[in-house]
Structure 1
Amino acid sequence: MSENAGVFATLRATPTPVRYLLGGVLVNQLGAFVQTFILLYLTFRGDSVGIAGLCLAAYSVGSIFGTLAGGELTHRLGPRTTITLSMLASAPLVASIPLVAKTPVVLFLVVGLAGLVTQAYRPAAAVLLSDLMPEEHQVMAFSMMRIALNTGAALAPLIAAGLILVDWDLLFYVDGVTALLYGLLAYLLLPRVTAPEEQEEKSVVDSRAAYSRMARDSKYLAYLAAVFLGTIAYAQSVTALPLEIVADKYPTSLYSAVLTISSVVLITCELKITTYIVKIPAHVAVLAGHLVNSLGFALYALAVHSGTFVVLGAVFAVSGLMIAGPTMFAHPAKFPAAYKSRYIGTMQAVVGLASAIGPLFGVFAFTSLGGAFWIVIALVNGVAGLLAVYGVRQARERVAVGGAV
């Protein structure tokens, strides 16, 4: 493993279709403006904060069900078809948002459906990535996908800033164009990869049997609980941290600096860190990552004394994410083909649910707990780490024995 785990070794081992897949993920993420800007867009148009909030909630709910549906469609139709259909359905929906913005009921429906079909591609992309990459490079491959997503997420606001100067509506037109482009690229460039024996195995496992088995898998349930709690904890970096900075009377530029530093560190360092992470047991990696995360959250509790603790906390928080993230993200792809897409879709639905709940929890808990808030978040994240250790430990042995999950 150690000889084959380097960044350049992984890049050399990356098949051309995976490069197309990651490129499509990046292109799509560069134009992913709905969830980030729908609140600002609607309030700029003069709509109430309540309507804007309901629209964001509709998108979040749609996203949760979309990842579940994406897992099921991937199992039945295959990754390439699912990605293509998801993006081709997403394109007209997001592009029509400016056209229906004056009719709230229609707007809620369109935005909710946009969330559903847009996020349906994620399980398919993860399944295709795991099917195409050699096993020894799986964790590195998922790290590469995370970098593609994070790079797009970091650059998208810069692109949006330029589009807004011309016309707010361009946000959604460009979003539609990038989705359409990704759909076409997926249809033209991505392969069908399901082997005949895999198809035979998948055909005998219906959705009820797959989810019933998942519900009895205590290790995977612990993993999902870890994902849920960890996502809620990390969400506070973009929910409660701005509130902390304002409460401590620091300039808002400090928060902008923290976001920039976090993005740069994540994008430039994750692959290199992953080359070391793949050499240690998975449960050690996820525990170490969560502990480093928790240290970062604890440092935020000292922000009242100096802004330096905000920067240090952000560096530790993102470092913990780089240590634990690739292993956590790759874990569902280790299950047999008959279950893999459903397991991936369920994990991503849990991430969506936690991402929707996290901001609400953060605002309430921050105002209620005061100075103890970040210590509580550090403890919550520590519990997530312990659950993750139980969830991922010896996963390889469990999968290898008769395909058991």
Structure 2
Amino acid sequence: MNERASDGVLAAIRATPASIRYLLGGMLLNQLGAFVQSFLLLYLVHRGVSAELAGVGLVAYAVGAIIGSALGGELAHRLGTRVTIGLAMAASGPLVALIPLLSGPGTFWLVVLDVGLAGLVTQAYRPAASVMLAELMPEKFQVMSFSMMRIALNAGAAGAALLATVFIAVNWDLLFYVDGATAVLYSLLAFSLLPNVVAPPEEEPAPGETASRGSAYGVLARDGRFLMYLAAVFIGTLVYAQYTVALPLKIVADGLSTDLYSFVLATSGIVLITCELKITSYIVKWPPSLAVFLGHVVFGLAFLGWGLSSGNAAVVIISAALFTGGLMMSGPTMFARPAKVPARYRARYLGVTSSITGLAQALGPILGVLAWTALGTVFFPVLTVLAVVTGVLAWGGIKVKPEPKAEPVVTSEAVA
């Protein structure tokens, strides 16, 4: 077998342990039923809540998700991956299923509390899933494994959008009952099929020290390159959010049909699902710094194209191709970066990264609307500049100081 074939998509799939297949299958299943973030606003309005108050529900979910990501990293470190995923999903199911019972003007603040808790526990599983990918996937396919995770999440989200139209036609409440059911099913699968990967212990403090020199958060705070990476994640996510905010506003302002935006969304999703793993099999042969830098530059050029489109649908579509291509170039390598740190710090690094991402996802739409209102079309070249800045930060932040690998503790045989 030649080197290209041994590093390709089929080789990566064959090398994927059964436990990772179960993990990705569970993520796909859970995402197929993930309706809260996408449909909560519309649902609450349907139940008679004002649009302004319904927006508070979305904020509560976002705040819960930010806290839950950090908590999930801590739990994955202390309890292990299987326990964290199983507990998070077991708690998520009932909380989500309660939304229809609590929704309505008279019980609004109860549903806000419920939604906030649902966001917290639902997102708590993500760091543990990433730890499993980092620990159990062969190192040469580690970046590709994060591409597989992105594909599972994107495919699930696409399927969820289609299923939602069916459930809404029958009964809006079904969205949340199905969401809760898929979470509980994922919990059962996790406890039954996944191994429990536990981080090795942190370094003990030297005599006279009051805190461990190896404390994950202390190490992270002193890790300049990782702080650059976090800055890149935060700014890049803010820019990415404008794909769903500034772009549709620009399309409408140019007098183009909203069907064009739907076409762009659908096409980009299909390309990501079907092509990202193959593209990643080539990108992993590049230096990681080059991949993330060029990916963000290409990604940024898409916003410049949208800003200059002036009502030209062809330019909008070509720019969408640049946007999708840039995501495929940089995304998997960026996702895999926290997994490169020593195992004793990994879960907490991943939890902090997820929290930073969640914060940017929550702020992105708000800042996007404000910036569009103030700047109009000028906002798009600003986004291009920010994307290039993100690429520069990612260039430096993606580099990892090599350290001896500490082996994790795996308390199950289900890793083959």
Fold conserved (TM > 0.5)?
yes
Shift of 1:209: 2.2
Cα distance in 2, alignment partners of residues 325 and 164 from structure 1? 33
Aligned to 2:32: 30
TM-score, scaled to structure 1 = 0.95
Aligned to 2:153: 149
CA offsets 1:276-299 (integer angstroms, 9 cap, x no match):
111111001001100110111111
Shift of 1:361: 0.7
Aligned to 1:400: 403
AA aligned opposite 1:109: L
Q: How do residues 5-404 of structure 1 correspond to structure 2 at under 5 angstroms? A: 5-102=7-104, 103-194=107-198, 199-201=200-202, 209-393=215-399, 395=400, 398-400=401-403
CA change 1:336–1:402 in 2 (3 A) is closer
CA change 1:128–1:356 in 2 (3 A) is same
The gaps in structure 2 that reach 5 residues or longer are: 206-210, 407-416
Residue 271 of structure 2 aligns to a residue whose secondary structure is helix
Task: Note if contact 1:210-1:339 (Cα within 8 Å) is conserved in structure 2.
Answer: yes
Shift of 1:193: 3.4
AA aligned opposite 2:188: L
Shift of 1:402: 8.5
The gaps in structure 1 that reach 5 residues or longer are: none
Residue 168 of structure 1 aligns to a residue whose secondary structure is coil
Residue 109 of structure 2 aligns to a residue whose secondary structure is helix
TM-score, scaled to structure 2 = 0.93
CA offsets 1:98-144 (integer angstroms, 9 cap, x no match):
10112011111100000000000000000011111010110000100
AA aligned opposite 2:299: N
| RMSD across aligned positions (CA) | 1.6
Task: Note if contact 1:58-1:111 (Cα within 8 Å) is conserved in structure 2.
Answer: yes
Structure with the higher helix share, 1 or 2: 1
Shift of 1:303: 2.2
AA aligned opposite 2:174: L
Task: Note if contact 2:203-2:214 (Cα within 8 Å) is conserved in structure 1.
Answer: no
Aligned length: 397
AA aligned opposite 2:367: F
AA aligned opposite 2:150: R
Shift of 1:400: 2.1
Range with bigger deviation, 321-330 or 240-249: 240-249
CA change 1:301–1:56 in 2 (3 A) is same
CA offsets 1:301-343 (integer angstroms, 9 cap, x no match):
1221401111111111111000000000001001111100011
CA change 1:305–1:50 in 2 (3 A) is closer
CA offsets 1:128-180 (integer angstroms, 9 cap, x no match):
11111010110000100000001111111110010000000000000000000
Shift of 1:210: 1.3
Cα distance in 2, alignment partners of residues 15 and 206 from structure 1? 34
Range with bigger deviation, 297-306 or 13-22: 297-306
Shift of 1:401: 6.0
Cα distance in 2, alignment partners of residues 157 and 401 from structure 1? 44
Task: Note if contact 2:226-2:397 (Cα within 8 Å) is conserved in structure 1.
Answer: yes
AA aligned opposite 1:348: S
AA aligned opposite 1:25: M
CA offsets 1:196-221 (integer angstroms, 9 cap, x no match):
xx534478897992111111111000
Task: Note if contact 1:63-1:115 (Cα within 8 Å) is conserved in structure 2.
Answer: yes
Cα distance in 2, alignment partners of residues 364 and 208 from structure 1? 42
Cα distance in 1, alignment partners of residues 89 and 296 from structure 2? 34
Cα distance in 2, alignment partners of residues 206 and 179 from structure 1? 37
Cα distance in 2, alignment partners of residues 208 and 66 from structure 1? 23
Cα distance in 2, alignment partners of residues 18 and 344 from structure 1? 18
Cα distance in 1, alignment partners of residues 289 and 197 from structure 2? 30
AA aligned opposite 1:261: T
Shift of 1:367: 1.3
Cα distance in 2, alignment partners of residues 124 and 206 from structure 1? 23
Task: Note if contact 2:204-2:213 (Cα within 8 Å) is conserved in structure 1.
Answer: no
